[in-house]
Amino acid sequence: MLNPKELMLASTSVSGEYLTECPACGWECTHFDKVFALVRFREDAEPRYMSLDHRGVVEPLTKEQYPLSSRGTGRRHEFLLEGRCEACEKVWYESFRQHKGTTLRNTTDLD
Residues that bind Zn ion (CB under 5 A): 22, 24-25, 27, 85, 87-88, 90
| Of residues 43 and 86, the one with the C-beta less far from Zn ion | 86
Question: What single string gives the DSSP state of each residue in 20-34?
Answer: EPPTTT--S-EEEEE
Q: How many CB atoms lie within 10 A of CB 89?
A: 10
Select 80 or 85, whichever has its Cβ closest to Zn ion.
Answer: 85
> Measured from the CB atom, is 46 or 111 closer to Zn ion?
111
Report in angstroms how near the CB of residue 54 gets to Zn ion at its nearest: 19
Residues 6+ apart with CB under 8 A from 75: 40, 43, 44, 98, 99, 100
Min dist. Cβ of residue 28 to Zn ion (A): 10
